[in-house]
Amino acid sequence: MKDGRRVYLDNATTTRVDSRVIEEMVRFLEKDFAVPSSIFSHKDGLIAKEAVEKVRKLICKNLNVKEGEIIFTSGGTEGNNMVLKGLLNKIKGKHVITTGIEHLSVLNVIKFLEREGVRVSYIPVDSYGFVDLDKLKTLITKDTALVSVQYVNQEVGTVQNLKKIGKIVKEKGVLFHTDAAIGFPYFDIDVEEMGLDFVTISAHKFYGPKGVGAIYVRDLSLLSPIFHGGYNEFNLRPGTENVPGIVGLGKALEIFNKNENQKVKELKYYLLKKIKEEIEDIRVNSPVDKSHPGILNITFYFIEGESIVLRMDMEGVSLITGSACFSKSLEASHVLLSMGLTHEIAHGSIRFSLSKYNTREEIDYTVEALKETVRFLRKLSPLKREE
Amino acid sequence: MSLPYSKKVIDLFLNPKNVGEIPDPDALATEGSPACGDMVTVYLKVDKKTSRIKDIKFKSFGCASNIATASIVTEMAKGKTLEEAKRITWKEIVEELGGLPPVKIHCSILAVDALHAAIINYEEKHGLVKEKIPTDENLIKKRLRHVIDPNTGKDIVGSRLIESIRIKEGKITIVLNIDVDNQFANAIKEEILEKLKYRWDVKEIEILFHH
């Protein structure tokens, strides 16, 4: 902005850690730095143990856990790996159902399982990313062992109806996993009501630290560990507990304020309104009313996403695109393509993701810069006729 | 840490030269498509007597690497004869730009290809081309020298990623020495198809991965 401040609109990638979270973490780095596995040796370990168990309880309360356990992980990717790979012995030779819009930490693990002898089906999604419930019903067979559907999409913000999906899945007696890394705790999760057997969560998506997350597991006996070592975390996740991280996750959850959701959502609507007023030839790829409060995905026709992102970066605004040129695999966003959108729409797509720290002033500045960027690039584009 | 682009690339990306269309051009060519995420159109005005490029302009749908390359290609070609301009290679361009990240080199080839295609377009229009050349192994290799492996930033022929090429009754089978799980396997496959599928005598292309 004019005063040199940057506008960070990439909060679905990661968020700024709340200072109250940092304060709590520092205590467990500096003063109470022992680990829970030392409880039989000394009191210092007991303090750590208490702190970790408090967070476990808090997550249980949040997810309405009646049976099963919470296991701390290093984040969403590890959580998804622990659930999906950890089930391999149980699902080998059987059938798994997922969607094409999952995060790569689900999709690429499922591809791995496929090579290990698991059959896979993908539930189709509509042009806003909602799974086809009728199709799900017909996909489940007597061989189906697991259904894995994300809660909220990372690129367009689409929120799945886990209650309805869970009902279908549970009627057939099939295991149900959700990757809730983006959705939790922005949207409620009730593992009983939703029939969930596994849930993956991650702290840094809601103002907590990176490198920590958790999974909910209804029946621990179903999982085999994917790492081998000590006997921490119910013998499922060896390694010294990341106490400062776990405590940070707990604090972020404790102070998470659903009223702030509303503020972020209003800002998102304000951004959308301003873009619609200032820039023509756009497609809104997010189902705005049924999506994550902070995520807004828009395609600017005739121009390519990386160019938009790079020019916006020079203006001090941080964004990402679903364009192939930007991705590490040189392929356009698998999410937008799975939604049935064309490569062209995917290449021009931009994800704005807002947080509680963004302001109206920042949005005004962003739209001004965006307007100029889009104008400039469209002048350059062979697809846009000069007027 | 700075952006993964040289200062020159960024300068040309922000202020590209020779942007626009030439009304009533002597030749033009478009390479790429919006579907593959990069597209460049090059317009030429050629002095008939001297065969020199009098004016050249471009329009681009693409990333920074694509736009900067198109800008520099047009600058380099301006004033050159068609024969001189044909000899501009992507390697020269990349050097002129102060290098590109390996993963971005493939985006830069398009502008060079569009220049070459526009020259061929001119030659065809003015009866300067010989008859249709059949697609043989040499021609395929020549074309595939314009397909870049994003892992290394080198072309797939020079870096020996092609295990074998077979041509039989209009069907080309290419075996690549790349693991099917390589993160760029599909991107390389798509680019090979793009380079060969419009050949007049090619009916079918099969790309196989070594494993």
DSSP-derived secondary structure for A86-137: HTHHHHTTSEEEEETTS-HHHHHHHHHHHHTT-EEEEE-B-TT--B-HHHHH
Whether residues A224 and A328 fall in one domain: no
* Mean pLDDT score, A158-168: 98
Digit-coded pLDDT (tens) for B153-171: 888 888 889 999 999 999 9
Confidence of residue A370 (pLDDT cuts 50, 70, 90): very high
**Same-domain check for residues A120 and A263:** no
* CA dihedral angle for residue B118, residue B122, residue B124, residue B130, rounded to 10 degrees: -90
Low-confidence winner among A125-134, A255-264, A358-367 (lowest mean pLDDT): A255-264
Distance between CA atoms of residues A60 and A77, nearest Å: 21
Phi/psi zone of residue B127: left (φ > 0), alpha (ψ -120 to 50 degrees), beta? Answer: left
Residue A170 confidence (pLDDT) above 90 = yes
Q: Min CA distance, A39 vs chain B (Å)?
A: 44
* One domain, residues A201 and A298: no
DSSP 8-state symbol, A324? G
Pick the catalytic residue from A325, A372, A376, A384.
A325
Check CB contact of B209 with chain A, cutoff 8 Å: no
**Total of domains in chain A:** 2
Q: Residue A91 falls within a domain, yes or no? A: yes
All domains of chain B in start order, with CATH: 7-125 (3.90.1010.10), 137-209 (3.30.300.130)
Q: Tell me, yes or no, if A221 comes closer than 8 A to chain B by beta carbon.
A: no
Minimal C-alpha gap between B104 and chain A (Å): 8
Put residue A168 in one of left, alpha, beta given phi > 0 → left and psi -120 to 50 → alpha. alpha
Would you call A331 an interface residue with chain B, using a CB distance cutoff of 8 Å? yes
Give residue A122's pLDDT. 98
Residues A140 and A273 in one domain: no
Q: What is the pLDDT of residue A366?
A: 98
Cα separation of the two ends of chain A: 31
Compute the CA torsion angle A106, A111, A117, A118 (nearest 10 deg).
Answer: 40
Instruction: Give this complex's ipTM.
Output: 0.82
Do A93 and A222 fall within a single domain?
yes
Backbone phi and psi for residue A310, each to the nearest 5 degrees, phi listed first: -70, -45
Query: Which of B19, B35, B63 minimises the CB distance to A307?
Result: B63
Q: Is A204 on the interface with B (CB under 8 A)?
A: no
Residue A2 lies in a domain: no
CA nearest to B147, candidates B101, B200, B100, B187: B187
Both A229 and A297 in one domain: the answer is no
Question: How many residues belong to chain B?
Answer: 211
A354-373 mean pLDDT: 97
Task: Give the pLDDT band of residue A194 (cuts 50, 70, 90).
Answer: very high
The predicted pLDDT at position B187 comes to: 83
Q: What pLDDT, on a 0 to 100 scale, did the predictor assign at position B211? A: 62
- Closest CB from A310, A330, A343 relative to B13: A310
Residue A27 lies in a domain: no
Q: Are strands A175-179 and A198-202 parallel, antiparallel or unpaired?
A: parallel
Quickly list H helices, chain B. Answer: 7-14, 64-77, 82-86, 90-96, 102-125, 137-144, 185-196
Mean pLDDT of A344-349: 91
* pLDDT value of position B168: 92
CATH of the domain at A282: 3.90.1150.10
Predicted structure pTM score: 0.89
Half-sphere exposure of A115 (CA within 13 A, CB side): 7
With an 8 Å Cβ cutoff, are B64 and A379 in contact? no
Q: Which two tokens stand for residue A215?
A: 């999974």
Burial class (CB in 10 A: 0-12, 13-18, 19+), B92: middle
* Residue A60 a catalytic site member: no
- Same domain for A85 and A203, yes or no, is yes
On the question of pLDDT at B1 being above 80, the answer is no
CB of B180 within 8 Å of any CB in chain A?
A: no
Structural domain containing residue A264: 7-16+258-380
Summarised one tens digit per residue, pLDDT across range A253-286 is 999 998 899 999 999 999 999 999 999 999 999 9
CA-closest candidate to residue B184, choices B104, B88, B128, B121: B104
Give domain status of residue A169, yes or no. Answer: yes
User: Is the residue at A24 inside a domain?
Assistant: no
* Whether residue A332 has pLDDT greater than 90: no
For the stretch B50-86, pLDDT in tens is 999 999 999 999 889 999 999 999 999 999 999 999 9
**For residue A81, is pLDDT > 70?**
yes
Amino acid A330: pLDDT: 65
pLDDT of the residue at B152: 82
Contact in structure between B101 and B5 (CB atoms under 8 Å): yes
Per-residue pLDDT at B184: 85
Q: How confident is the model at residue B128 (pLDDT cuts 50, 70, 90)?
A: confident
